[in-house]
Amino acid sequence: MTHIHDVVIIGAGLAGMRAALEASKVADVAVITKLYPSRSHSGAAQGGIAATLKNVDSDDCIEFHMFDTVKGSDYLGDQDAIENLCNEAPEVIYETEHMGVPYSRTPEGKIAQRKFGGHSLHHGKVAANRACYAADYTGHVLLHTFFEQCIKQRVRFYSEFQAVGLIVVDNRCLGIVAWDIQKGGLHVFHAKATMFATGGYGRVFKITSNAHASTGDGLALCLRAGLPLEDMEFVQFHPTGLYKQGILLSEGARGEGAYLLNGLNERFMERYAPTLMELAPRDMVSRSIQTEILEGRGAGPKKDHVWLDIRHIGEKRIAAVIPQIRSLCLNFGGVDPIKQPIPIQTTAHYSMGGIPVTCDGRVIYDEKNSLVEGLYAAGECACVSVHGANRLGTNSLLDATANGRRTGRTIANDIGKLKLNALPENPMEDTQERIGRVAGSTGREKVIHIRHDLRDSMEENCGVFRSGERLQKQKQILKDLLERYRQIKIDDQSKVFNTDIMEALELGYMLEFSELIVEGALRRTESRGAHSRTDFPKRDDVNWLNHTLAWRDASGQIRFGSKPVVIKNYQPMERKY
Amino acid sequence: MIRTFKILRFNLEKDKKPHFQNYQTECPPGYTVLDVLYDIKGLQDGTLSYRRSCRSGVCGSCGMKINGVNLLACKTQVESLKKKVIHVEPLPGFPVMRDLIVDLTPFWEKLENIKPYLINHTPPPTTERYQSAEDQLKIEEATWCILCNCCTSSCPSLWANKEYLGPAALLKAYRFVFDSRDEGAEERYKVLNTKSGLWRCHTIFNCMDACPQEINITEYISKLKTRVVSERY
Ligand SMILES: Cc1cc2nc3c(=O)[nH]c(=O)nc-3n(C[C@H](O)[C@H](O)[C@H](O)COP(=O)(O)OP(=O)(O)OC[C@H]3O[C@@H](n4cnc5c(N)ncnc54)[C@H](O)[C@@H]3O)c2cc1C
Ligand code: SF4
Ligand code: SF4
């Protein structure tokens, strides 16, 4: 079946829905999502969304937010995009409030704001209260509010449709192919403008804060259509994942004053970031935790974790500002954080890299920023790049919302000029063939085993600390896994809700772009932000102050290129906290 | 420890009616029912279908009936289930699409009916609209609803009358009617103040017991009733 819409947006998280709200003011928009909109992973975000509202710190200013973001990115962020992000933040947040987001409030009735890692006043002097929040349900209430506004504006959703193919001919995007999960069957969505907002890919790692659905589908579809991905080696590991589960305990806890303690009960951050302590940026805190564990100061019988201690914050304040953290600990970790410290370990959390786009959300296909006509992206799947080598907490809800809005506006502006170009003769051919092949697999390998081997090995060899040796090893492991993937077995042949086939497709995606993460990490012989090489411990601005672009052709060959970083007001400096 | 699960299976392409299928699986300490479903699907039977995403109790995908009670699979520790054999079934009260997956279309339609969005006709200021911390607290808990429908599906009034809006939609209505920034109460009363609206609720508390977010649903529904009565009669 073929559907025609002016605009097709894939993904109904914050980025996709915020864009839909803009574009649908002037155009006919369809949003395709493999989950019901309210179930997108944006809803798991707890801590907050950054903006210089000055509701708590009257001396905060937008320029401080810019500086912190640039420094946090380890100078790999593009400063034009960062300027836009920080400048637009206050208006973007006020808009969400007008839409109905039930923010927590200050005593005067303004939006409440709290501290978050890496955000400071006066270029690092003291921690800034810049994170707007709704208890620790910030992402949840934003997501539901955007969904509500989409209902109000009668945005057309195709829920439980999974995009499985992207149609790009001669650098023009004509739409996508999607599988109807509920009924089975392929549909072509033919559009003037297509936008990806498919979120992150934490599921590539064993311990992750991401949802089962965070499998990076949009990235893989772009790769397969011959488009490059940017900065894939930069993956953020969040310091405080619940031990063994990886479920996130928001940085909001440390914003409220929580301590990190090692097995010897020392507040070990003193050694690594004496000024900001627990509120140093995530990459640093994660490395500090990992170092404590590697040097034998971990907690527990295996000395493989550390503690997050919130007891001194007190039951009342915990219930008022971080209630979800307590219930997560009780339900998933079996500990009551009012009485005991919480066992934590680092958890794969956020993908800084993604589909390369201009500041306005237009997808590019080469080092010269040439545009793919009619293709756009925003949110975690895109790389603008506002986060560079490491994103600051609360900047990604902002990225998804602000750049979702920006991209929606770009589409609204472009739509009059864009044509509905003719589809190729059989636009579903490739996808049909691929799904047919997967569905008909009768090999011996179980998808779950390959998936687990992928996750375990990525965690082991491409995690917080990396080295040339380990990455080489991982490169070979991925080749073997891709080989095994050809031998999988599919049990389910029904049409309705065939999650067996969809999960197998997702695994294929993850294997393919993991190669870019690993080979990008191998190629980048320096340490910057979240990418930390034990064999190249220093940042190297002479050779590596640039973005990675990577392509993967049908035979699996990977090709690299690079793009300069946009530097405006801030020259790279040493990054100390 | 190895535990036995009886899971209700249904595939409309093959089956006339649902049937239970037995699975046995190893459940280490800390295992949730979602972990079990994941293992069964991956290791024993790829045809088993269920919804899931966040696995941390916030997306609302994995509501199902476990040993007779509506629960989120991800939030249910296997160790907490004392019965020898654990029964897992789809949420009652909704048409079953496949195995543990129900068709929520009726719910999404009802949700739209109550106008689930802030209605405010006054042009907004250039900053935020002010709201006192007190007023925010009135709606805060209600905004934590994850639309899992564990409540809706446990509601005897809904089983009896499929037109009934049900607790989750009513809770959403509460969240807006009691939002100090909202001006849409009148429009919503038209839907709430009907036979299939508020007055179908007989305060049976099933919904509250089922709510994984532990929201005081009945209290909020009662407040809505009082509000409608005081403004309408
Ligand atoms: C636990 C957790 C806590 C966080 N806390 C914070 C925080 O406090 N502050 C902050 O700023 N950031 C936080 N983040 C990061 C932030 O939440 C995300 O980066 C952001 O929400 C991503 O939004 P998105 O719209 O890009 O993607 P998502 O919300 O992940 O949405 C992706 C959408 O794409 C759809 N989709 C994916 N693949 C397909 C496909 N093949 N076909 C159709 N649809 C598809 C999904 O259905 C979904 O609707 C947190 C992240 C996590 C995991
Ligand atoms: S209190 Fe009302 S809504 Fe809740 S179960 Fe009872 S009848 Fe249903
Ligand atoms: S009120 Fe509770 S049970 Fe009902 S949908 Fe919301 S979260 Fe689920």
Convert the pLDDT of each residue in B121-162 to its tens digit.
Answer: 999 999 999 999 999 999 999 999 999 999 999 999 999 999
Say whether A465 sits in a helix, a strand or coil: coil
> Which residue type is seen at A433?
E
Q: Ligand nearest B207 Cα, by number? A: 2
Q: Which residues in chain A show pLDDT less than 70? A: none
Say whether B151 sits in a helix, a strand or coil: coil
Q: Which helix (H) or strand (E) holds A149?
A: helix A138-152
Question: Which chain B residues touch A105 with a CB distance below 8 Å?
Answer: 131-133, 136
In chain B, the residue whose alpha carbon lies closest to the alpha carbon of A93 is B128
Each residue of A527-539: pLDDT tens digit?
999 999 999 999 9
> Which residue type is seen at A442?
T
Cβ of B118 and A148 within 8 Å? yes
Question: For atom 2 of ligand 3, which residue has the closest CA?
Answer: B211
Question: Which chain B residues touch A13 with a CB distance below 8 Å?
Answer: none
- The closest CB to that of A141, out of B14, B126, B143, belongs to B143
In DSSP terms, B109 is beta-bridged to none
Question: For atom 1 of ligand 2, which residue has the closest CA?
Answer: B203
Sheet strands (E) in A266-383: 306-309, 342-351, 355-356, 362-364, 371-377, 382-383
Tell me the best of A93, A166, A198 to mutate to test the pocket of ligand 1, counting ligand atoms within 8 Å of each CB and taking the most. A198
Give A326 Cα–ligand 3 centroid separation in angstroms: 19
In chain B, the residue whose alpha carbon lies closest to the alpha carbon of A106 is B133
**Rounded CA Rg of chain A:** 22
DSSP symbol at B41: I
Q: How many CB atoms lie within 10 A of CB A263?
A: 18
Restricting to B residues 34-63, those with a Cβ less than 8 Å away from any Cβ of A are 41-43, 45-47, 49-50, 52-61
Sign of CA dihedral A529, A532, A538, A540: negative
Give B156 Cα–ligand 2 centroid separation in angstroms: 7
CA B8, CA A430: separation in Å to the nearest integer? Answer: 36
Residue of B127, B148, B213 to mutate, testing the A interface (most A Cβ within 10 Å of its Cβ)? B127
Question: For atom 4 of ligand 2, which residue has the closest CA?
Answer: B207
Query: Residue B115 has what pLDDT?
Result: 97
CA B220, CA B174: separation in Å to the nearest integer? Answer: 6
Give B202 Cα–ligand 1 centroid separation in angstroms: 39
Question: Which chain A residues touch B117 with a CB distance below 8 Å?
Answer: 99-100, 148-149, 151-152
Question: Which chain B residues touch A107 with a CB distance below 8 Å?
Answer: 133
Q: Does the interface predicted TM-score (ipTM) exceed 0.90? A: yes
B13 and chain A: CB distance < 8 Å anywhere?
Answer: yes
In chain B, the residue whose alpha carbon lies closest to the alpha carbon of A91 is B127
Cβ of B53 and A144 within 8 Å? no
Tokens of A476: 């070979």
Cβ of B56 and A212 within 8 Å? no
Cβ of A41 and B54 within 8 Å? yes
Closest listed residue to residue A159, CA positions, set B155, B188, B66, B147? B147
Question: Which chain B residues touch A99 with a CB distance below 8 Å?
Answer: 117-118
> Which residue type is seen at A431?
T
Cβ of B118 and A446 within 8 Å? no
Q: Active site includes A282?
A: yes
Cβ of A104 and B112 within 8 Å? no
Residue of A331, A449, A491 to mutate, testing the B interface (most B Cβ within 10 Å of its Cβ)? A331
Helix runs in A442-492, H state only: 447-461, 468-485
Question: For atom 2 of ligand 2, which residue has the closest CA?
Answer: B201
Q: How many CB atoms lie within 10 A of CB A492?
A: 21
Tokens of A41: 């992973």
Question: Which chain B residues touch A331 with a CB distance below 8 Å?
Answer: 57, 75, 77
* Residues found in chain A: 577
A439 and chain B: CB distance < 8 Å anywhere?
Answer: no
Question: Which chain B residues touch A213 with a CB distance below 8 Å?
Answer: 53
Q: How many CA atoms lie within 13 A of A19 on its CB side?
A: 36
Give A218 Cα–ligand 2 centroid separation in angstroms: 42
Helix runs in chain B, H state only: 33-39, 105-113, 133-140, 156-160, 167-177, 185-192, 206-210, 217-232
Tell me the best of B58, B213, B214, B216 to mutate to test the pocket of ligand 3, counting ligand atoms within 8 Å of each CB and taking the most. B213
> Which residue type is seen at B70?
N
Query: Residue A291 has what pLDDT?
Result: 96
Q: Yes or no: say if A522 and A475 are a contact pair by the CB < 8 Å rule.
A: yes
In chain B, the residue whose alpha carbon lies closest to the alpha carbon of A246 is B56
A228 min Cα distance to partner chain B (Å): 28
Kindly name the residue from A130, A282, A362, A391 that is annotated as catalytic: A282
- The closest CB to that of A447, out of B42, B52, B97, belongs to B42
Q: Which residues does ligand 2 sit against, CB inside 6 Å?
A: B 155, 157, 167, 201-207, 218, 221
Give the neighbor-by-neighbor strand order of the sheet with A558-564: A229-230, A546-552, A558-564
Say yes or no to pLDDT of B232 above 80: no
> Which residue type is seen at B33?
V
Give B154 Cα–ligand 2 centroid separation in angstroms: 8
Each residue of A223-235: pLDDT tens digit?
999 999 999 999 9
Restricting to A residues 61-120, those with a Cβ less than 8 Å away from any Cβ of B are 93-94, 97-100, 102-111
Query: Residue A575 has what pLDDT?
Result: 87
Closest listed residue to residue A24, CA positions, set A147, A150, A188, A143? A150
DSSP symbol at A329: I
- The closest CB to that of A110, out of B117, B130, B140, belongs to B130
Query: Residue A130 has what pLDDT?
Result: 98
Domains observed in chain B: 2-102 (3.10.20.30), 105-232 (1.10.1060.10)
CA A536, CA A539: separation in Å to the nearest integer? Answer: 8
Give B107 Cα–ligand 3 centroid separation in angstroms: 12
Give A380 Cα–ligand 1 centroid separation in angstroms: 7
